[in-house]
Structure 1
Amino acid sequence: MGHVTDHREPIVRTKGRGAPDAGEPWNEIVPGLWMGGHRYRDVAGVLRDAVVAEEFDVVCSLYLRDGHGPPPHVEHHCALVPDDPLSSAEIRAVLGLAEIAAEAVRGGRRVLVRCHSGYNRSGLVVAQALVLLGHEMDDAIFLIRRRRSRWALNNRLFEEYLTTGLDVACLLTGLDA
């Protein structure tokens, strides 16, 4: 599949939650479904770029940075959303990426869901994909924190969206419009 790009301005990530850089570029949450970011700190403590090459069949990005892949022949879906309160449209975009990721995993494809640090926005998509793959939400959140980082989903609002249900959160967020 061709390379898909969203040309909107990059979203500035929210700072100040105190989460350290991830120790891996990405981690496998369940077979075929990986979660990661664009930067990580290696075992020597050096900050490194996480650049996607041939490791994955499908990449879902919630943050973009030039030079971080994937190559043009890798299927790439983008939904640039903030690590802040989301609009109904942004929640629908998250739901869409979760469906793409779950369907690809069901088809035996290797999927990476990534954001800036690989904690919050990617966690939102991966948790919803896990639910679509048959996991309970509490188990999905547990798996993400166990396999990616205890810092995953440190945006409490995102955890509330998930435990409420993204469909319901989408409807409730739309009431403010």
Structure 2
Amino acid sequence: MRTRRREGDVPEPRSRWDEITTGLWMGGHVWSDGRQRHQDVVVDREFDVVISLWTRSGHGPAPGVEHHVAPIPDDWLTAGEIDSVRRLAVVAADAVRAGRRVLVRCYSGYNRSGLLAAQTLIELGHDGDGAIDRVRLRRSPWALHNPAFEQYLLTGLDVASLLSGLEPPPP
């Protein structure tokens, strides 16, 4: 399974993670410090819940931290993958409502984590456009640069799941 798209000229993030709304953080496994040096991100106990859409051994979180892992590609998703994002957005929104600190992460912390963070905002009452704008404002203008993910959010994940589950007609 392809898990990362080639990023081309997309810069690495300037921070390990950023707060999107109170209690909801978005980040990745890598970032670039002020001198353009690549740094790995390791999560310990900074968060109550960590949701990883891409993961690498040794990057945390610490034992005992609630950790959900659902690898998805940075590409068009299957109906099952979209349903996983929907389910995890409910988990994240419930945790935020309960006052818990939630980190949603992927490789760079732009697309996959942006999809889930924006869907969590929708679960918390934002509309699709507002959720996308907030993710880009709080994380990076590069967040959600995958046009498929932006389209999923604007269409609605429930509709996107139904549409991706359709099989093409026979020839």
TM-score normalised by the shorter chain: which range applies? over 0.9
How many residues were matched structurally? 168
Q: Which amino acid aligns with 2:115?
A: L
Q: Which amino acid aligns with 2:112?
A: R
Stretches of 4+ aligned residues off by more than 6 angstroms: none
C-alpha distance in 2 between matches for 1:134 and 1:55: 26
Q: Does 1:22 align with 2:13?
A: yes
3-state SS of 2:96 partner: helix
Give the counterpart of 2:131 among 127, 140, 164: 140
Aligned to 1:164: 155
Q: 1:102 to 1:86 in 2, by over 3 A?
A: same
Aligned to 1:126: 117
C-alpha distance in 1 between matches for 2:73 and 2:55: 12
- 1:138-171 per-residue CA deviation (whole Å, 9 max, x = no partner) reads 1110110001000000000110011000000000
3-state SS of 2:122 partner: helix
Aligned to 2:69: 78
C-alpha distance in 2 between matches for 1:49 and 1:16: 17
**TM-score normalized by the length of structure 1:** 0.92
C-alpha distance in 1 between matches for 2:8 and 2:103: 24
Aligned to 1:69: 60
Aligned to 2:87: 96
C-alpha distance in 1 between matches for 2:49 and 2:131: 20
C-alpha distance in 2 between matches for 1:145 and 1:60: 19
- 1:74-108 per-residue CA deviation (whole Å, 9 max, x = no partner) reads 00001100001100000001111111100000000
C-alpha distance in 2 between matches for 1:49 and 1:88: 31
C-alpha distance in 2 between matches for 1:148 and 1:22: 8
Aligned to 1:174: 165
**TM-score normalized by the length of structure 2:** 0.95
C-alpha distance in 2 between matches for 1:23 and 1:176: 41
- 1:108-145 per-residue CA deviation (whole Å, 9 max, x = no partner) reads 00000000000000011111100111111111101100
What percentage of aligned pairs have identical amino acids? 57
Aligned to 2:140: 149
Q: Which amino acid aligns with 1:115?
A: C
Q: CA deviation at 1:11?
A: 5.1
C-alpha distance in 1 between matches for 2:145 and 2:116: 14
Structure 2 portions without partners, runs of 5+ = none
Asked whether the 8 Å contact 1:11–1:63 carries over to 2, the reply is no
Asked whether the 8 Å contact 1:24–1:42 carries over to 2, the reply is yes
Q: CA deviation at 1:32?
A: 0.3
C-alpha distance in 2 between matches for 1:113 and 1:16: 20
Give the counterpart of 1:55 among 27, 46, 57: 46
C-alpha distance in 2 between matches for 1:18 and 1:80: 24
Asked whether the 8 Å contact 1:63–1:114 carries over to 2, the reply is yes
Provide the aligned C-alpha RMSD in A: 1.2
